[in-house]
Amino acid sequence: MPAKSRPPQDEAAETPHYHGHRERLRERFYSAGPDALSDYELLEMALFAAIPRRDTKPLAKALLKKFGSFAEVIHAPEARLREVDGIKDASVNQLKLIAAAASRIAKGEIKRSVALSSWADVIDYCRSSMAFADKEQFRLLFLDKKNRLIADEVQQTGTVDHTPVYPREVIKRALELSATALILVHNHPSGDPSPSQADIQMTKAIIDIAAPLGISVHDHIIVGRGGHASLKGMKLI
């Protein structure tokens, strides 16, 4: 008599516990929307593709504990991300892809609009692009006479607390692009966006060179993890 075939093992017993959790999270995301999920749950989902065979909840919580928020996680320097146990190449690539997508979307919002009538979009874009960088960057938004974005360029990248800025180089580039207005932007990696005396003096130097050439400096925005500061809003220029 042929031996009886062994009954198949219970599939549920073989399925890792987190599979059901992933499905429930996806269902809530699609039915209730992203606002129904906390930062760590969104981060869990972001890591699903990078880590298909592990529960991503502990890693998501560890990342948030180290960096503070979803935005700070995706914009964290690669070297610091790798300090978190469990973060490998695939996870870093996934997080940086999300950061790049967020920046591209924000930049697209500015390009589709008249910049000064959509100031919130300008601030959102500047913060998503620079607020969480670990080194100072000096960025220029070049505008035409209708205040539409011609170009967005990082002119200088400096150290943790200093970026060399050359006013004549700023104006030279504006003339090359036929820009009639500028918005200056830089970040403070310390997190505090308060302008320094050097920030104010540098802005005034650019204004002094730009004005006789018919180029307006609309504002100098400083961004940091703690928010943003506008030199014009503070009546410093």
Does one domain contain both 123 and 189?
A: yes
Please choose, from the candidates 112, 180, 182, the residue with its C-alpha nearest in 3D space to the C-alpha of residue 153. Answer: 182
pLDDT for the residue 53: 83
User: Is-contact 176 213, C-beta < 8 A?
Assistant: no
What is the full DSSP assignment across 146-162?
A: T--EEEEEEEEE--SS-
Does one domain contain both 71 and 168?
A: no
* Rg, the chain, Cα only: 24
Please compute the mean of the pLDDT values over residues 66-78 and round it to a whole number: 87
CA distance 173 to 196: 25
Show the tokens assigned to 70: 């979803």
Query: Which of 55, 76, 102 is the C-terminal boundary of a domain?
Result: 102
Does one domain contain both 125 and 217?
A: yes
Does one domain contain both 36 and 94?
A: yes
Domain of 216? 118-230
Does one domain contain both 91 and 123?
A: no
pLDDT for the residue 13: 44
CB atoms within 10 A of CB 235: 7
Classify residue 25: in a domain, yes or no.
yes
Does one domain contain both 153 and 79?
A: no
Does one domain contain both 191 and 136?
A: yes
Does one domain contain both 62 and 125?
A: no
Secondary-structure percent of the chain, ordered helix, strand, coil, rounded to 5: 50, 15, 35
Evaluate if residue 4 carries a pLDDT over 90.
no
Does one domain contain both 160 and 211?
A: yes
Higher pLDDT, 106 or 116: 106
We report the CATH number of the domain holding residue 27 as 1.10.150
| Residue 182 DSSP one-character state | E
Does one domain contain both 85 and 37?
A: yes
pLDDT for the residue 36: 83
pLDDT for the residue 220: 95
What whole-number percentage of the chain has pLDDT above 70?
84
**Into how many domains does the chain fold?**
2
Does the reported pTM lie above 0.75?
A: no
- The 10s digit of each residue's pLDDT in 159-196 is 545 557 889 999 999 999 999 999 999 998 888 889 99
We report the CATH number of the domain holding residue 169 as 3.40.140.10
Query: Which of 102, 130, 165 is the C-terminal boundary of a domain?
Result: 102
Show the tokens assigned to 107: 């930049």
What whole-number percentage of the chain has pLDDT above 90?
38
CA distance 14 to 169: 64
- The 10s digit of each residue's pLDDT in 108-158 is 666 655 555 677 878 887 887 787 777 888 899 999 988 888 888 888 776
pLDDT for the residue 68: 87
